Chain A
């Protein structure tokens, strides 16, 4: 079985950040592997270690800088990686359909049996690419998976979907399928030094839209971000000032007033 894992480099703003135009200033952003995708990578690597997956391929849509992130997936055990980028993506905000069109072309080339990805990306938080991709390529799907067991002989993924309010739905999903993964599914490993060294030698296939038989028009976005701003705080919190001792003493007073005591 071949497993494709969609991963994304996500940007995280510093505590203090400036907004420039419709995005956060580049200098105030740090980049990392999307937390949800980290769990998807771990799930895929565990399937390989269990002898269920023969090959784990990580795929990302991202600029050259994101190779650093995708190497984390390789260092953790993915066999190779595909990185798609094109000037067309520089121009604006890629909507779900644009990403799906890109991934569809990669799926056609790779022919995976199972696709895993995070349920959402920490930066844009759309939570939609995996399910939309499944629809496009005719795979089954399940969103927000927090437990996964593959019965390869039966061609079924037995999953738990984490519903709201502490309830899990148990579902059998026929393969091939796209599963979007919730945090807590497993314990993502740290990349070992050996893994990091090996990752340097693994292949990252950098490709563009033309290589995939696509044009900029194919990934034109129906969405445009028109403004970005810091939300006005509706806070009426009383901030307890002072050094740690002083603020703690003030808080203790508040708590005693509320009847808190051991």
Chain B
């Protein structure tokens, strides 16, 4: 049981980047286990997907043509079938919204230990997974009992697999239970009048602002700098700014020349949406806030002291 099975992810006809990253993680694990790397691609145009996913290091690709878009029952049935048909004992799944919608069910149904959101691992005599806890403030190593497990891997932690592979491609037909969860459509989050993805300079506000009334402080800064106002998730959850202003994994990905993070701690989901900015400035009271890890310039201080002074500088 030394082989590894990676499950690819796609949406609306396109393979998602996390799939190529999961291949790299899966290959790393398969090498450590001295095994083959199997890849499953489920639903949609699986032949085209198999072509795209045939990267260096993949030994076998199994296509399951049932269905068009993501259906967790089809994914679960596919993985269970392939666990039975191959020698794979370790399953690697992207730690995405859809990954988290079926990976726990696969682990439960197959009685396998589950470790989610891995940022690294070491496999020697057994599996040791590195993951974060307490909102990225600490890292932990977690030992897994036994040699069979399900692992979900965080996006952006492994380099995408490259190179053209020569994996054998084979089709699998999967029986799956009629779905009690039926996808009826997709909806884009309303664009509104402002597209933060177009802005050259973003002043972005987070939880540190405390109260809705305090938004005025950062609005003044945005005005003074000729910048556009954006926000991290809690501000949008609170209804203080509309959804089209949200930067992050579930919001917009932005790449401005200058990104000023005000009172934003820098959760991984937020960072995913702004790390491509040319220059990142962080203003935060907590010197250990993860935002400082990716910032180019930082001020450790109270935004309510610093921001008005900065506004004065540009007045």
Contacts and interface: CB of A to CB of B under 8 A. Distances in A.
A262 B225 contact: yes
Contacts of B97: 143-144, 161-164
A170 B185 contact: yes
A10 to B, nearest CB: 9
A17 B137 contact: yes
Nearest to B302: A244
A31 interface: no
Contacts of A140: 180-181
B314 A166 contact: no
Contacts of A233: 292-293
B138 A252 contact: no
Most buried by A among B108, B293, B314: B108
A22 B141 CA distance: 9
Contact of A183 (B134, B183, B237, B299): B237
A124 to B, nearest CB: 6
Interface in B66-84: 70, 72
Contact of A12 (B108, B134, B136, B288): B134
Interface stretch (A66-74, A125-133, A204-212): A125-133
Interface string A29-65: 0000000000000000000000000000000000000
Given A12-B134, A125-B117, A166-B189, A244 B301 contact: yes
B182 A172 contact: yes
B250 interface: yes
Interface stretch (B32-40, B42-50, B168-176, B305-313): B305-313
Contact of A252 (B116, B285, B310): B310
B235 to A, nearest CB: 11
Interface residues of B, number: 98
Nearest to B305: A244
Contact of B133 (A123, A161, A170): A123
B189 A167 contact: yes
Interface in B243-258: 243, 246, 249-253, 257-258
B65 to A, nearest CB: 21
B132 A251 contact: no
A19 to B, nearest CB: 7
Interface stretch (A82-90, A94-102, A110-118, A189-197): A94-102
B41 interface: no
Given A126-B117, A169-B186, A240-B298, A248 B223 contact: no
A254 interface: yes
Contacts of B310: 248, 251-252
Interface string B283-297: 001111000111111
B252 A260 contact: no
Contact of B286 (A12, A15, A174): A15
Interface stretch (B23-31, B54-62, B98-106, B210-218): B98-106
A143 B300 CA distance: 37
Given A143-B97, A222-B144, A247-B301, A230 B138 contact: yes
Interface residues of A, number: 85
A256 to B, nearest CB: 9
Contact of B279 (A22, A143, A226, A258): A258
A229 to B, nearest CB: 6
A contacts with B: majority SS: mixed
A105 interface: no
Given A143-B100, A169-B186, A223-B115, A229 B309 contact: no
A142 B105 CA distance: 11
A213 interface: no
B15 interface: no
Given A140-B181, A224-B143, A24 B309 contact: no
Given A24-B134, A166-B250, A172-B184, A134 B105 contact: yes
Interface of A: 11-13, 15-17, 19, 22, 24, 93, 95-97, 100, 119, 122-132, 134-136, 140-144, 160-174, 177, 183-184, 187, 222-231, 233-240, 244-245, 247-249, 251-252, 254-255, 258-262
Give me the 9 closest cross-chain CB pairs, A-B, nearest first. Answer: A248-B309, A252-B313, A222-B113, A244-B305, A140-B180, A128-B104, A132-B104, A174-B180, A131-B104
Given A127-B117, A166-B252, A230-B288, 12 more contacts: A125-B132, A134-B105, A164-B96, A168-B189, A171-B182, A187-B239, A224-B145, A226-B140, A235-B295, A239-B297, A248-B307, A254-B297
25 contacts: A24-B134, A24-B138, A93-B142, A96-B114, A119-B100, A126-B117, A130-B104, A131-B103, A140-B181, A143-B101, A161-B101, A163-B97, A163-B98, A168-B187, A168-B188, A173-B180, A174-B180, A226-B141, A231-B138, A235-B294, A244-B309, A248-B306, A251-B299, A254-B297, A260-B225
